Amino acid sequence: SQTIHQWPATLVQPVGSPLSLECTVEGTSNPNLYWYRQAAGRGLQLLFYSVGIGQISSEVPQNLSASRPQDRQFILSSKKLLLSDSGFYLCAWSVSGRPYEQYFGPGTRLTVT
């Protein structure tokens, strides 16, 4: 069966510090991978998605970047965090080549102070 991991679960970082959130998927090959941010009372905002290693598409211009160094690894980064980067970050995967349902990780709660 497939599983998706995210870490850390919670993170408190000062403004201006760097960020690295990691997501890994097990039990599938060449998945589509996604990073979302969910703010309180708002819907899911797609940040990045990837259909293969080294292939990253950005949906929203912002202070964040993403990388996919391995087939089942997706990393969300920032060089300098802003207060507005606080939120609940979710990684998700879907089957390659098909617009089917997504499966989400447990999420990372990021608080920028």
The answer to whether 112 touches 86, Cβ cutoff 8 Å, is yes
18/27 with CB nearer other proteins: 27
* Least distance in angstroms from the C-beta of 98 to other proteins: 8
Contacts of residue 40, Cβ cutoff 8 Å, sequence gap at least 6: none
- Bridge pairing between strands 108-112 and 87-94: antiparallel
6/24 with CB nearer other proteins: 6
Q: Within 10 Å of residue 75's Cβ, how many Cβ atoms?
A: 19
79/109 with CB nearer other proteins: 109
* Least distance in angstroms from the C-beta of 80 to other proteins: 27
Name the amino acid, one letter, at 103: Y
* Least distance in angstroms from the C-beta of 107 to other proteins: 5
Taking the C-alpha atoms of residue 93 and residue 110, their distance in angstroms, rounded to an integer, is 21
15/60 with CB nearer other proteins: 60
* Least distance in angstroms from the C-beta of 13 to other proteins: 19
Taking the C-alpha atoms of residue 76 and residue 89, their distance in angstroms, rounded to an integer, is 9
> Which residues lie near other proteins (CB under 8 A)?
6, 32, 34, 42-44, 46, 49, 51, 59, 88, 90, 92, 94, 98-107, 109
